[in-house]
Structures are given as C-alpha cells and as structure tokens.
C-alpha cells in the first residue's frame, strides 16, 4: 500500500523532531523517518544557542563567551542559518523545545546563557539544561564538591575541580573519587550504573551517600557525573540530597550520554503525543520527482525501495557525523537528494592546519535560500517542496560557536512550520486562532 502524508521529515535528531512537531502544529499529517539513532546519545543533552561568535576568517579566534545570544546574532557571518530564520525563528524553536520537554529542562526564564560545569572542568555557556544540572551552575556561589568513581575514567573529579579552580570560578571547589557501591566490570556503561541507582540495588543510594559523606566537609553542593538514575532520577537525587544535607547535581558526560538519551526520549514522547508517525531502522536512499517537486522519498527496506510520498519534505539528516553530509577523497555530497554542497576543490583546503582552527569542513552543508530550501550551484531552489534543517545545513561552525542544538531547533521549527503550512494551505497563526 502506498504511504502518503502531508509532510515527511527525514531524520530523527533534534532538527527532525522539532520540524515534525512544528509541522504537526499546523494540523498537517506528519511522518518522521530515521535510519539510526541520532547523535543525541553522544551529545551532552545541553541546548546551546550561541556561546561564541566565529568569523569567516579561518585565522580568527571565536569571540566569547556570549552572555546574551539574542544580542549577538547580528554579529554572525551572513551565510549563518540563524540569518535565514531570524531572532523570531530562534524563539520559535525554543518555544517548541520548551513545550516538548516541560519541567525536565531549565533556562527558559531568561534570554541569557547559563554557565554549566563540564566533565573536563570547564564552564560552558548554554541556553537550556536538564533540571538535574541546574543546581551546579557556575553562577551559584556555593562551596562545591565534585565526585567521580574509581574505574570510571571519563570523569576525573580531582582534575576537573583543579581546572575549574584555575579558571577562577567564584566558589571553592574540591574533587574526590569514591568506589561505586555496586561492583561492576571496569568497562561497565554509565547506563548500567544508573540502573543500579534506579533500583537501589544492594542499597546503592545509602552506601553512595555514606562514601561521599567522608568528603563532605562543609561543601554545600555535590556534583556527580550524569548517571544518577534513569527512570527514577528525581527520586535518586532527592534521596541523595536528603542523606547528604547538600544540593546534588549532575555534570554532563561523554558517550553514552544519559542526558542525551533522556532528551531523545522526551522528544520522541512529544512526537507520539503530537500524533507524528515514526518509522525508524531503514535509510532513505533516493527520491522520485515530478519536475521541480519531490513526489516521494525511497526507503531501502531489506533491499527493496519503498516510496514514502508527501506534499512537503524536510531534510534533517545531520552533518558529517550524522551522515547527512558525506565525503570521500574527491568530493562532499548530500546523499539522498544530491543537493549541492559547495567545498574547495583541493582536499587540502578542507581543513586548517591547527587542530582547533576554523576548518572549512565544519561549515560544509547545503546552502539554503530565504525559505530554507537547499539551492543548486546557481542559487535556485533544488526542489520547490524540500526544506533543510539542522546539521545538514552549511554556513555555521556550530561546534566552535556552540550553537548546534540551537541551529537545529530554530531551522527545524521554521522548516516544519513552512512545510505544514504549504501542505495544509493554512498558516499556523490561523490554526492557533481557530
């Protein structure tokens, strides 16, 4: 049976989820297809809007940290995706995000960036952060103890505390390493440790509090790597706070990132609630077109190509990491629709000699017109009914400027709303005032 929707979103990361939610708000019937899990399981779970301004000039250093992303937007290079959607588009993305995650996230009370402690002992400007991270903000001047676990090499609490101290944070900070109260293999994943706290295996919560108590010594708050429970995370943190008599917070970690996984769950719950149909596990590999419009996206299901038809399409397949942009020794491509991805001909110009420099590849991606439609080499929209969102868009060095999730939210919200409006013939405003 042919599958047909108003809007088809390709990609299940922050950009695809936001686009699908925005399209559903217009009353459109929406389907989201994704090949694999998104980069969220590696990501910190933080929503960075803009932490630094990065010029086009590869030799220039990022200027930051940015205190108010909304004030800094007009200092971004012209090709930046934020310049297509504008400040209103950024606010729309945040509105959809805040609605989707509810009180699981903090930061919506202000336009200004919060400064979150990282597992490397630095401070990072971000716009939205999980509520379990909130008591650990650098702006809170409380004597702080960071606690790591023996065998968990990802987080060295003593080194992180020393590093934070050296950066001049306005509070005393110390580090301690304790043994996790339940024995695991050295290579056990944080998700396994979180489950042990969830189920209070072998009295894990009380024994953890006892181990930390020996180091408490007047510290007013205690930070752990983000693994304080999963389903029962609020209960776990509340019990530890109660037993320690101190505020307890989580510090975002590397992969597998529980905060990223939790965010993925929150977004997919919101998609379910919005009535978005979801199909995952198979890659989109091509498309069918009728002149300038896409008729359907072809999905490879065990060797046969199944068409998914729709009136409007959103490409949200991520950048070089998510596989939305592909490269070989010769060229850089967008593999599903073959959209134009400008790049220097000489491969040696794709990167900059310094490891943390302004690499050209960081900005590789499709080039949108003023309606977020990918354009061809002459600047014309590749297809009338295809918009792009998130990491697949070029023009921003989101890692250096700390804006990846923000760009995904803002462009996802814009692309999804426009796709929904075009498919249903209604504007979201009309829909909302009915």
- Residues lying near ligand FAD in the complex (CB under 6 A): 10-16, 33-36, 38-40, 42-44, 46-48, 283-284, 316-318, 321-324, 336, 390-391, 404-405, 408
For residue 432, the minimal CB distance to ligand FAD (Å) is 25
For residue 424, the minimal CB distance to ligand FAD (Å) is 24
For residue 223, the minimal CB distance to ligand FAD (Å) is 17
Using the minimum distance from each CB to ligand FAD, give the nearer residue, 46 or 178.
46
Using the minimum distance from each CB to ligand FAD, give the nearer residue, 27 or 391.
391
For residue 314, the minimal CB distance to ligand FAD (Å) is 11
Using the minimum distance from each CB to ligand FAD, give the nearer residue, 100 or 316.
316
For residue 59, the minimal CB distance to ligand FAD (Å) is 25
Cα gap 200→66, rounded to integer Å: 41
Cα gap 396→387, rounded to integer Å: 17
Torsion of CA 91, 385, 28, 31, to 10 degrees: -100
Using the minimum distance from each CB to ligand FAD, give the nearer residue, 67 or 238.
67
Cα gap 303→288, rounded to integer Å: 17
Using the minimum distance from each CB to ligand FAD, give the nearer residue, 132 or 408.
408
For residue 322, the minimal CB distance to ligand FAD (Å) is 2
Using the minimum distance from each CB to ligand FAD, give the nearer residue, 245 or 281.
281
For residue 5, the minimal CB distance to ligand FAD (Å) is 15
* Distances from the Cα of 47 to the Cα of 14, 50, 130, 309, angstroms: 10, 9, 9, 32
For residue 409, the minimal CB distance to ligand FAD (Å) is 8
Handedness of CA 244, 249, 252, 257 (dihedral sign): positive
Using the minimum distance from each CB to ligand FAD, give the nearer residue, 68 or 349.
68
Using the minimum distance from each CB to ligand FAD, give the nearer residue, 16 or 135.
16
Using the minimum distance from each CB to ligand FAD, give the nearer residue, 31 or 35.
35
For residue 51, the minimal CB distance to ligand FAD (Å) is 9
């Amino acid at each position: 049976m042919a599958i047909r929707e108003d809007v088809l979103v390709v990609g299940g990361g922050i950009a695809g989820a936001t686009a699908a939610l925005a399209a559903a708000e217009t009353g459109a019937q929406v389907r989201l297809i994704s090949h694999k899990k998104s980069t969220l399981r590696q990501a910190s779970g933080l929503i960075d809007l803009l932490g630094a301004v990065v010029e086009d000039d590869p030799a220039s250093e990022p200027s930051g940290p940015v205190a108010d992303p909304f004030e800094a937007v007009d200092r971004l290079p012209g090709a930046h995706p934020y310049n297509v959607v504008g400040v209103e588009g950024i606010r729309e993305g945040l509105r959809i995000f805040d609605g989707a995650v509810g009180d699981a996230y903090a930061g919506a009370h202000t336009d200004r960036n919060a400064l979150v402690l990282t597992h490397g002992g630095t401070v990072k400007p971000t716009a939205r952060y999980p509520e379990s991270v909130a008591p650990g903000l650098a702006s809170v001047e409380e004597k702080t103890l960071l606690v790591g676990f023996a065998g968990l090499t990802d987080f060295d609490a003593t080194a992180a505390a020393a590093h934070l101290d050296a950066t001049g944070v306005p509070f005393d900070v110390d580090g301690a390493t304790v043994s996790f109260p339940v024995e695991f293999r050295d290579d056990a994943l944080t998700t396994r440790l979180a489950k042990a706290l969830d189920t209070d295996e072998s009295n894990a919560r009380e024994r953890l509090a006892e181990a930390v108590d020996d180091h408490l010594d007047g510290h007013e708050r205690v930070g752990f790597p983000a693994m304080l429970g999963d389903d029962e995370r609020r209960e776990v943190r509340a019990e530890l706070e109660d037993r320690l008599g101190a505020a307890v917070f989580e510090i975002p970690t590397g992969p597998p990132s529980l905060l990223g996984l939790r965010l993925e769950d929150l977004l997919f719950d919101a998609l379910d609630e919005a009535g978005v149909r979801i199909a995952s596990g198979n890659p989109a590999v091509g498309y069918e077109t009728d002149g300038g419009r896409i008729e359907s996206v072809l999905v490879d299901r065990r060797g046969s190509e199944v068409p998914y038809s729709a009136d409007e399409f959103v490409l949200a397949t991520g950048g070089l990491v998510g596989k939305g942009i592909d490269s070989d020794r010769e060229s850089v491509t967008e593999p599903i629709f073959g959209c134009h991805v400008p790049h220097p001909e000489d491969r040696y110009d794709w990167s900059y000699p310094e490891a943390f420099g302004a690499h050209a590849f960081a900005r590789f991606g499709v080039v949108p017109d003023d309606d977020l439609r990918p354009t061809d080499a002459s600047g014309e929209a590749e297809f009338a009914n295809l918009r792009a969102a998130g990491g697949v868009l070029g023009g921003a060095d989101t890692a250096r400027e700390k804006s990846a999730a923000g760009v995904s939210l803002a462009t996802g919200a814009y692309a999804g709303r426009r796709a929904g409006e075009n498919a249903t013939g209604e504007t979201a405003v009309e829909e909302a005032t009915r």
